[in-house]
Amino acid sequence: MRLYKNSIIGLHTSNKKLVYHYPGWHQPSAVFEYLLHKDLVNTLSKEQIAILEAASIQASLYFTLHLQSENELALERIMSKGIETHLFSDDLLQTLNLLSNQTLEEVCSKDPFSLEVLISYRGFLERMTKWGPMSGSAIWKWRRS
């Protein structure tokens, strides 16, 4: 099953220098949210709810894994067309991080549930910043040699 068809709109044929800037602020993965009206959910059986939960997990997993492999292929395609890559500076990323956290704290301070989600997310992020480099970066270094 394919989520979308490859499409190239020909930006690489422009007479302007094209640069792909990275990392995307949403990386390494998107966050998915499935919303259902509470009144509708209250009419569903336990089995129907379990089906929806399983389907949402499957869709999220498929989408995340599919994008991972497609992103790698897309990078190869744009680089083969002469599009340069540019890593955002540490200063810029640090500023984005600071402003993002300020905005999150401002918004979440007004809503207890949002604050609970933010605290949970930050706990997950803390764990992943330890695990990610140990797992991903370390093994990719050696698999390429």
43/143: higher pLDDT = 43
d(CA 8, CA 34): 30
Q: Over 80: is that where the pLDDT of 12 sits?
A: no
- pLDDT for 39-53, tens place per residue? 999 999 999 999 999
Handedness of CA 126, 138, 66, 25 (dihedral sign): positive
Q: Helix crossing, 90-108 with 112-132: angle to 10°?
A: 150
**In the chain, what are the domain boundaries?**
1-88, 90-145
Q: Are 21 and 81 in contact (CB under 8 A)?
A: no
Return left, alpha or beta for 115; rule: phi > 0 is left, psi -120 to 50 is alpha, else beta: alpha
Q: Over 70: is that where the pLDDT of 59 sits?
A: yes
Please, which pLDDT band fits residue 139 given cuts at 50, 70 and 90?
confident
